Amino acid sequence: MTKIKLAGIFAGCTALATLGLNVDIAARADNLAAGLHSGVNQHRQACGAIGSNPQLTAAAQRHADDMLNNGTFSHTGSDGSSPQARITESGYGGATSTGEIVYWGTGSAGTPSAALDFWMASPGHRAIILNCAFTEAGFATARNGNLMTAVVDFAKQ
C-alpha cells in the first residue's frame, strides 16, 4: 500500500450581474472583509469610493458562510437561493441592478489580495468591480483555517 501526501493551492471564483431586488440580517465585517473593501476602492478610483451597506454585507456574509460550510462554490446557495433572493432577504430594497462576485482559495491563495488579483484578471469580475453605476456594496469573508471564501454584493439604487 502506497501513501501519497498532497498539498496545493486551490482558487476559484465566479461573477454574476443581474437586475436587483431587496434583503435584513445582522451584518458582520472582519479585517479580511475590510481589506476587500479597501482593495475594491483602490481599483475604483475613477468612480470614487463605493459605500459599504450593512444589508448587502449581511447578504454577502450569508453566502460566504454557506460556501465555506457547505462547499457551494457558486452563486447558488446550498438552499437554492440566488444572489437576488439573499439581497432581498437581508432587507435591501430599491436596487435597480446588482452584481455579485465570489471567490474561494486555500493557502497563499486564501487572502483578500489573492481574491482581488484574481477578480481583476477576469474580464467579468473586473467589469463588475469597475462599474461606476454600482454605488453600494457588501463585503464578506469566511475562513476555517486554510480555506477562505469571499463574496462582494454590489448594488445600484
Return the pLDDT at 44: 95
* Cell 484578471, residue located: 121
pLDDT tens string 23-74: 222 333 357 999 999 999 999 999 999 999 999 999 999 999 999 999 989 9
| C-alpha span between 60 and 140 (Å, rounded) | 5
Where is pLDDT greater, at 122 or 4?
Answer: 122
pLDDT tens string 97-129: 999 999 999 999 999 999 999 999 999 999 999
5 CB neighbour count, 10 Å cutoff:
4
Rounded to 5 degrees, what angle do the CA atoms 76, 120, 83 make?
Answer: 20
Cell of 26: 445582522
| C-alpha span between 86 and 56 (Å, rounded) | 9
| pTM of the predicted structure, to 2 decimals | 0.81
Return the pLDDT at 9: 32
